[in-house]
Amino acid sequence: MSEDLDALDAETFRQRWRSWLAENYPPEWRIPIIHRISGDDERRWHRMTYEAGWRAPAWPKEHGGLGLSLEKQLIMHHEMELHQCARVLDSGALLLAPALMHYGTREQQERYLPAILRGDDLWCQGYSEPNAGSDLASLRTTAVRAGGDWVINGQKIWTTLAKEADRIFVLARTNKDVKKQAGISFLLADMDTLGLTVRPIMNLAGEDELCEIFFDNVRIPAGNIVGEVDQGWTVAKALLGDERIANGAPSLSRQSFDVLEQLIDGVGLADDLGQTDRAAQLFCDVQDLAALHSQVADAAIRGEVDNAALSLMKVLATDVFQRISDELFTVASEAAGLHDAAGVGGVELDLRKIYMIARPSTIYAGANEVQRNIVATMLMGKPSS
Ligand SMILES: Cc1cc2nc3c(=O)[nH]c(=O)nc-3n(C[C@H](O)[C@H](O)[C@H](O)COP(=O)(O)OP(=O)(O)OC[C@H]3O[C@@H](n4cnc5c(N)ncnc54)[C@H](O)[C@@H]3O)c2cc1C
């Protein structure tokens, strides 16, 4: 598409994207909330949008993105929500790419960004370790210089979709003699490098998206470092901010609220005042979240990153989503215990899957308890002892 999408007025733009989705979005992927496209399906989705000129709405044009205004990016998200599209992780475009654009060398940008755009490379995020989650700076995976290489040893855990990824961005300790945040570097590795092993972890819903990764003398070229040696914490923190903007989006809350409304109607509780009162409260919370999300994302695009607001938004978004999924359980009553998709009041539901998506949302991208601590300290200072 050679046309400048940003020059279109919002309504024309919306219609254009809506019709493209209607004509091209694979119907088998239209399973909102519980389905996530991954692996070859994810590669196919990126390639389709790339070839049709819809890929990377937030990336600047100089890097091959669409350079769209926030208004148009939100239109795209909203239309996908209305079209009942599946979730996509897209860690390469959403998390790594902004870090590469800011801290990467021109060579790294030229090597990695086009492959992300075309859907050739899927990336995963190698931050957390068995004893370094909330306290990420305690990580113990090491990278040591040996001639023209870095040699990585250690273990990562909870790496989403690692078994489907082509490459990984890894935080590793490169200096043990300084304050813990000051001795970490941000490295890039191919998943098929000798010594790198992925072991999927099965969850209660029977899915194995989360993985452990073992690094046993994994050698990567010395140039696979983003930013300066020992300065990876700065890159990692910027990237966590982007992750919180994505995880603060209202989509899952809005979509699960739609299911809740249908279910309340379906089981004949639409006239129950207690029920409608709780639903009205949740509806207001979803609206508040959507308003906060567009304000915070708008400010972030202007370069005004308010870390307290980012953290609060992640807390609010995941908390609302979890409360809606809990309410779905209450309304579905005994059907909530069923293991497969079940028809409840005429609504086809797999509540176990919705639950398994809502539960961990308060843990990933920075556990909510820790985010609350961070915000409290930012706004009120450290408690006096
Ligand atoms: C679905 C899912 C996907 C994930 N994907 C990835 C990924 O792709 N890549 C990656 O690197 N990581 C990933 N993670 C890991 C995630 O970032 C960590 O789980 C998270 O940072 C929490 O760390 P932890 O699991 O070690 O828990 P801990 O840090 O041990 O925390 C356990 C509990 O203690 C609380 N707690 C900890 N410290 C404090 C404190 N100071 N004050 C108050 N409460 C505290 C926490 O809030 C939490 O409730 C994923 C996690 C999940 C659940």
Is the minimum distance from the CB of 376 to ligand 1 under 6 angstroms?
no
Give the number of the atom of ligand 1 that is nearest the alpha carbon of residue 126.
Answer: 11
User: Mean pLDDT across the stretch 227-236?
Assistant: 95
pLDDT surpassing 60 at residue 1 = no
Reply yes or no on whether the pLDDT at 8 is more than 60: yes
**Residue 357 pLDDT > 70:** yes
The reported pLDDT for the residue numbered 71 is 81
Instruction: Give catalytic status of residue 369 as yes or no.
Output: no
Residue among 222, 115, 131 at smallest CA distance from 167 = 115
- Cα distances (angstroms) measured from residue 259 to each of 152, 280, 328: 46, 14, 8
Mean pLDDT for 47-70 is: 94
CA of 215 from ligand 1 middle (Å) equals 21
**How high is the mean pLDDT of the chain?**
92
Find out whether the beta carbon of 227 lies less than 6 Å from any atom of ligand 1.
Answer: no
Q: Which residue in 167, 168, 169, 175 sits closest to 142, CA to CA?
A: 175
Q: Domain 248-380: give its CATH code.
A: 1.20.140.10
Protein fold of 5-88: Butyryl-Coa Dehydrogenase, subunit A; domain 1 (1.10.540)
Four-CA torsion 263, 76, 85, 276, nearest 10 degrees? -10
Q: Please report, for the chain, the start and end positions of each structural domain, with discontinuous segments joined by +.
A: 5-88, 123-232, 248-380
pLDDT of residue 340: 65
pLDDT average, residue stretch 322-342: 83
Matching CATH topology for 123-232 and 248-380?
no
Among the residue ranges 43-47, 320-324, 327-331, the one predicted with the least confidence is 327-331
Please, which pLDDT band fits residue 341 given cuts at 50, 70 and 90?
A: low
Cβ–ligand 1 contact at 48 (below 6 Å): no
Per-residue confidence at 365, pLDDT binned at 50, 70, 90?
confident
Q: How confident is the model at residue 175 (pLDDT cuts 50, 70, 90)?
A: very high
pLDDT at 295 over 70: yes
- What would the DSSP string read from start to end of 223-289? T-EESSTTBHHHHHHHHHHHHHHHHT-SHHHHHHHHHHHHHHHHTT-TT-HHHHHHHHHHHHHHHHH
pLDDT tens, residue by residue, 91-132: 999 999 999 999 999 999 999 999 999 999 999 999 999 999
163 — pLDDT class (breaks 50, 70, 90) = very high
Average pLDDT over residues 184-205: 95
With a CB cutoff of 8 Å and minimum separation 6, the contacts of 11 are none
| Tens-digit pLDDT profile for residues 124-147 | 999 999 999 999 999 999 999 999
**Does position 318 have pLDDT exceeding 70, yes or no?**
yes
Q: Could you report the per-residue pLDDT of 70-99, keeping only the tens digit for each?
A: 788 888 988 999 999 999 999 999 999 999
Structure confidence at residue 56 as a pLDDT band (50, 70, 90)? very high
Residue 2 has pLDDT above 60, yes or no: no
Distances (CA, A) of 59 to 49, 73, 96, 98: 14, 11, 12, 8
Shortest-distance atom of ligand 1 to CA 136: 21
What is the fold, at CATH topology level, of the domain defined by 123-232? Butyryl-CoA Dehydrogenase, subunit A; domain 2 (2.40.110)
* Mutation choice for ligand 1 from 90, 125, 128, CB with most ligand atoms inside 8 A: 128
Distance 201 CA to ligand 1 centre (A): 16
